[in-house]
Structure 1
Amino acid sequence: MDGALRSYRRFDVEEALAYDATIDGSSTTVFVVALDETGRMLGGTRIQGPYQHVDEAHAVTEWEGRVGEAAIRKLIADRIPEGLLEFKSAWVEHDSEHRIAVREGLARSAIHIPHLLGARYALSTAADSVAEGWRVSGGSVVWWIPAVPYPNDRYRTVALLWDTCTFRRHAVESQLPLLEAELAELAAQVGMPPHAGGLA
């Protein structure tokens, strides 16, 4: 969270982090971090859910009172029955020579963490200027939900969705061998929930 705070402050968007509300960890199910060989943290993200109700999702607050609010609420509600997680607070250390690899690794966790928690879907929001970098693991921009000026008018935030049953159709080709190898390793180490759609 401290790394996320540094990163968000660098772009003057720390209000989007909701640091005071999330620092106690009670709203976070899993933290994912990337470490270099010395143990230095190079990036991370946190995951909320699986959700039981639409209003648990932070994304609804980003569209609240704006065009697209009903659409984002329906997107979430329709996917809760099969398991929906939300990825928040993603960051990558700006001076790391491994920035791209770290971002791609964090993006792949949008497939792995749902598998581990027995959920089918992962949701995230991001500025449209960086969304492409997070889509490499098979996420798609939800085109029918209009972008919103969040956290302020300098940004156009879009919704991204990953489906563990269909991610292979959308993932960048270079990421597929990594995704498959990591999924196989996770299956060997901890097993998979019964649905494990991504391995079908």
Structure 2
Amino acid sequence: MTVDTMAVDQAANPGPEASSFRDAKSGCIFHVATVSSRPDLWAGYLDGALRAYRHYGVERALDIEQTREGLTTSLFFAAVDPDGTVVAGVRLQGPYLQVGEVDSLRPWADQPGGAYLRRVVAERIRQGMVEARGAWVAREHRGRGALAAAVSRCIAHGPLLLGVPYGFCTVASFTVDRHRTAGGVAMSEVSSVSYPDDRYRTVPVLWDAQSYRIHATTAQYELLQEEWRSLGLNSGDRFDRGGRC
């Protein structure tokens, strides 16, 4: 397999001001903002995340006390329904400077593939990598499936918005297929781990903004393109133009 790669640079970053796109499937508006630019949406994101994670008894995975101040969050996405309620979201950390900043690697410290995972992440960080954390969707929302797919696309948007080639996330194993449709690639060389407890198997997933066209499904890729235009990434296609097997 050969892949033509494109340069990804800071010119791709539309800046810290809030922007948005409409999810064509759920009809909700996904706002992209910094914590300081939209504290109202940040509060809604946090409240929804805490409710969603608490329902399953895994709220410790949010590290809510450290997260609340927003110091570790570069950008976040908050989906707002027509009633004005925040119904889904995810936040971004980075770009990282060193592998020691990636706290989500700790569950793999003594696990098969853990050393390999750290090497891969360290290499991506040298080139530029952001991490998605705290993804959630309101359980009761009628468009839950569409919102979940849109959140996966938000993770794919992260590297482009912050001007780096790579994204990273640790996800529950049953969500891997959904993330794959939006360009994420699970690291099969690394064993899954029990996290945040024994009910869940968690796996690392990488996004490479230089090859979304290869890994994303046609339907999701078309939505990615539409959303790039809404987010001011009018030349979004340049990140993977010509990608082919």
Unaligned runs of 5+ in 2: 1-45
CA 1:182–1:199 in 2, change beyond 3 Å: closer, same or farther? farther
The list of structure 1 runs, each at least 4 consecutive aligned residues, that deviate by more than 4 angstroms after superposition, is 190-193
- Say which of 101, 112, 121 aligns to 1:67: 112
Contact 2:228 2:234 (C-alpha < 8 Å) held by counterparts? no
Instruction: Write the distance in 2 (CA, Å) between the matches of 1:63 and 1:197.
Output: 31
Contact 1:149 1:157 (C-alpha < 8 Å) held by counterparts? yes
Q: CA deviation at 1:168?
A: 1.2
Larger Rg over CA atoms: 2
Q: CA RMSD in A?
A: 1.9
- Bigger helix share: 1
SS at match of 2:134: strand
Q: CA deviation at 1:191?
A: 6.4
Contact 1:59 1:72 (C-alpha < 8 Å) held by counterparts? no
Contact 1:46 1:87 (C-alpha < 8 Å) held by counterparts? yes
Work out whether 1:95 is the aligned partner of 2:140: yes
Contact 1:103 1:134 (C-alpha < 8 Å) held by counterparts? no
Aligned ranges for residues 48-67 of structure 1 at < 5 Å?
A: 48-67=93-112
- Say which of 14, 17, 28 aligns to 2:73: 28
- Per-residue CA deviations over 1:82-135 (Å, capped at 9, x if unaligned) read 211100000000000111111111111122221111111110011112222222
Instruction: Write the distance in 2 (CA, Å) between the matches of 1:112 and 1:13.
Output: 26
TM-score (norm 1): 0.91
Contact 1:28 1:46 (C-alpha < 8 Å) held by counterparts? yes
Instruction: Write the distance in 1 (CA, Å) between the matches of 2:229 and 2:241.
Output: 9
Q: CA deviation at 1:20?
A: 1.3
Q: CA deviation at 1:58?
A: 2.3
Q: CA deviation at 1:198?
A: 3.5
- Say which of 152, 168, 171 aligns to 2:216: 171
Work out whether 1:15 is the aligned partner of 2:51: no
Q: Which has the higher contact order (CA 8 A, sep 6+)?
A: 2
Unaligned runs of 5+ in 1: none
Query: 1:158 corresponds to which residue?
Result: 203
SS at match of 2:105: helix
Aligned-residue sequence identity (percent) comes to: 37
SS at match of 1:118: coil
Q: CA deviation at 1:80?
A: 1.1
Query: 2:239 corresponds to which residue?
Result: 197
What is the aligned length? 197
Work out whether 1:182 is the aligned partner of 2:227: yes
Q: CA deviation at 1:199?
A: 5.1
